[in-house]
Each structure stands twice: as C-alpha cells, then as structure tokens.
Amino acid sequence: MPSDLPTYTNQVENGTDYTIMFCLDFTNKRLRVDDYSGKIDVIYRRVVEIAKTHTLTKVFIKSREVDWQTFLSKGCMLEGIYKGYFNGSDAYCMAMYDDLKRRTSDYWLEEDQILQQVLSLPIKPDHPLVPSNMTMRLARLEDAEQLSQLYSHIFQTYPTPMNDAIYVAKTMREGTIYYLVEMQGQLISAASAEINSVYANAEMTDCATLAAYRNQGLMRLLIHALEAELVARQITSAYSLSRALSFGMNAVFYQMGYGYYGRLTKNCDIYDKFEDMNLWAKSLK
C-alpha cells in the first residue's frame, strides 16, 4: 500500500551568492542536486549541510563540465556522465557518502562480468514489429491503475511509489509519457520517458514486463516508440539507469545504441535492497 510518509520533495534554495535546485529523496536516503548556479565552495558546503540535516547517506550532484574537477578536489567522486544532459552539454555525476555500507558495493565484480557480457553483444538498430496478437500504444490517464498494478506485481520495492495509481497519474500530468503493450486487454509490458523540457533530455525508466512475456523484444519496441515521441518533442538526449545486476535491461539499452557511462553505487532502493545502477546515454539528434 502507498505510504503516508513523503517519498521526496523538490526544492529550490536561493542564497546571497548561490542557487541550488535539489531533490530530498527520503525513500532512497539521498540528496540529488539537479542544477545550481553561483559559488561552488558555498554550494558544496550547503549541500553537505542539507544532507546531514536530513540524515541522507548519499549525495550526488549533476555538475556542469566546468565544475566537476572542483567538486572532485573537495572529495567528491565521479561516478558517471550524463551525455548531452544540459541541452547537449554533459552533466557529471559527482557523489559523496556519509555511510560506509552505502559507499561499499556488494556485487561490483559480478556487475563487471555482466557488463562485459553485455558489451560483447551485437548492436540491434532494427525496428521490430509489434507481434500480431499484441497492441502497443501511448498510455492515457485512465491507465494509471493498471500501470500501478503492473509495477506492484514486478517490484518488491521501487525508488518511486509506482505502486500508487495516484502517483502514476501525477507523473503523467507533469509530462512523463508511458508506452504500453497489451494482449487481449491485459497490460503485459510498459516503459516511460520522464521529460526535462528545460534541458531537452529524458530519462528512460519504469521498464517492466510480466515474467511470462520476457525475452520477446517487447522492451525494445517500447523504447523505440518512446524515442520517436521524444524526437517529435525536440528532446535531444536520452539516458537510463539500469540495475547493474540485470543482464536483460542493460542488454536492451546497449543493443539500441546507448553508451555505458558509469556505475552509481547503491544509488536507489529497488527490488529489495540498495542497488548499483549502470548509466546509459544516447544522443537523439
């Protein structure tokens, strides 16, 4: 059931010589800085203070290219690069931790092996056809209940409350687009693109397929459809965070021409624990 506790809150803080746009993500015990302007020294100190105030164990800053080495010099780590994130300019994921367990990956070598297997696969740029017994379409507001049931069925825990139909509908109203595949009226697979129209990027996310219908290329179909929709909306870059332990989802993005740009340690609570996430990105120009 949906929790009454706040899952996250987006805020903007204006100081005399800085502005920080950030997300207090309580579900995943992290502070995510999406943008900023002003003096880096002041921004860094303030970000650390905010994280401590809310006992958040991970901070990551989407740094501009001109600033990432300054953040590095203050003890932040470069975990990945969001290619083309800021209207074509890269964003550098600079992370810091306040908890040793959160900093330490439990599966790094296994994830490296999975990544190497994925990177040895052939690229599949072709556009597959929708199977004749299935239909694919853009989701509507009235699909929110079905979508929430799909996510609740597949994920024991998830970084956002996708098991709540009200939350799913809210994301749609805020501009996230969903594509779904149905068979005989049953929703069997879905994926979304969370659009940032200010910076012309989108996160490909919320990828889910019922177990009985996996390995049929449905996710490739959905990602192709989402990409076409994004291009029509003048979005120039797409990225995705995939569970580093999941061969399937990493393979989908690699085979569709996304590049691997890093791994974010224990980035979010998904399935049943904090998991490392591989960062994939692609130019849609």
Considering 67, 87, 103, which residue would you say is the last residue of a domain?
103
Whether 5 shows a pLDDT value over 70: the answer reads: no
pLDDT digits (tens, 9 = 90+) for 208-245: 999 999 999 999 999 999 999 999 999 999 999 999 99
Tell me the pTM: 0.94
In a domain, 2, yes or no: no
Residue 175 near residue 195, CB atoms below 8 Å: yes
Task: Report pLDDT for 3.
Answer: 44
Considering 103, 133, 163, which residue would you say is the last residue of a domain?
103
Mean pLDDT of 246-256: 96
In a domain, 35, yes or no: yes
pLDDT digits (tens, 9 = 90+) for 190-217: 999 999 999 999 999 999 999 999 999 9
Same domain, 64 and 205: no
In a domain, 194, yes or no: yes
With tokens 């130019």, the residue in question is 283
Using pLDDT thresholds of 50, 70 and 90, give the confidence band for residue 6: low
Burial of 71 (0-12, 13-18, 19+ CB in 10 A): buried
Same domain, 99 and 136: no
Same domain, 55 and 125: no
CATH number at residue 37: 3.40.630.30
In a domain, 1, yes or no: no
In a domain, 3, yes or no: no
Same domain, 84 and 186: no
What whole-number distance in Å separates Cα of residue 127 and Cα of residue 129? Answer: 7
Q: Which range of residues forms the domain containing residue 270?
A: 108-283
Buried b vs exposed e over 123-143: b needs ≥16 C-beta within 10 Å? eeeeeeeeeeebebeebeeeb
More confident of the two residues 266 and 159:
266
Same domain, 34 and 140: no
Considering 75, 103, 131, which residue would you say is the last residue of a domain?
103
Whether 105 shows a pLDDT value over 70: the answer reads: yes
Mean pLDDT of 25-33: 95
Whether 111 shows a pLDDT value over 90: the answer reads: yes
Per DSSP, the three-state class of 179 is strand
Percent of the chain with pLDDT over 70: 98
When divided into structural domains, the chain yields a total of 2
Using pLDDT thresholds of 50, 70 and 90, give the confidence band for residue 149: very high
| Main-chain phi, psi angles of 248, to 5 degrees | -60, -55
Same domain, 165 and 276: yes
